[in-house]
């Protein structure tokens, strides 16, 4: 698995522990979904302002959000390695949500990564049944990582 990271924000520091957790979450998601680890994923860290602009441009929603997922819709591959897509995470939003929900920043980042990876793999949460399926998958991934105990 190749993960290409683009840090486009300067509000929060990104350490090796966080990167390892994110990559482990991506890998665990692929394993649980019985998908090959032979793929490429682009991950961008942004601030609330940039994610708001992206949300408005690509989803016609004029507000900030925590994470955006852009699945690669074609079977396009460079050097025969499938590209799953792009993940964009607002570190500002992740930090504020971690405080709001009373858990660690790293736990929030793992959850947002799992959530976004599931979107790259075709899951969504528009319909209530789909939302339930996706939430159960997120819990399974977080349990497998040892983050959720239940």
Residue 103, annotated as binding a ligand = no
Query: At 87, which helix (H) or strand (E)?
Result: strand 81-90
Residue 115, annotated as binding a ligand = yes
Beta strand 81-90 with 77-78: parallel, antiparallel or unpaired?
antiparallel
Residue 125, annotated as binding a ligand = yes
Q: Please report how many Cα atoms fall inside a 13 Å half-sphere around the Cα of residue 38, on the Cβ side.
A: 6
Q: What are phi and psi of 76, to 5 degrees?
A: -70, 135
Q: Would you list which residues are annotated within the binding site for Zn(2+)?
A: 115, 119, 125
Q: Would you list which residues are annotated within the binding site?
A: 115, 119, 125
């Amino acid at each position: 698995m190749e993960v290409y990271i683009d840090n486009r924000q300067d509000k929060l520091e990104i350490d090796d522990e966080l990167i390892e957790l994110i990559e482990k979450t991506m890998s665990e998601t692929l394993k649980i979904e019985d998908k090959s680890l032979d793929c490429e994923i682009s991950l961008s860290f942004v601030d609330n302002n940039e994610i708001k602009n992206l949300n408005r441009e690509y989803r016609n929603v004029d507000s900030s959000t925590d994470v955006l997922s852009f699945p690669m819709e074609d079977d396009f591959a460079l050097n025969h390695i499938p590209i799953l897509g792009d993940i964009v995470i607002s570190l500002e939003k992740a930090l504020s949500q971690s405080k709001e929900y009373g858990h660690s920043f790293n736990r929030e980042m793992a959850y947002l990564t799992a959530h976004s990876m599931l979107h790259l793999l075709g899951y969504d949460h528009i319909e209530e049944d789909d939302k339930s399926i996706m939430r159960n998958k997120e819990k399974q991934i977080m349990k497998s990582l040892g983050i959720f105990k239940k």
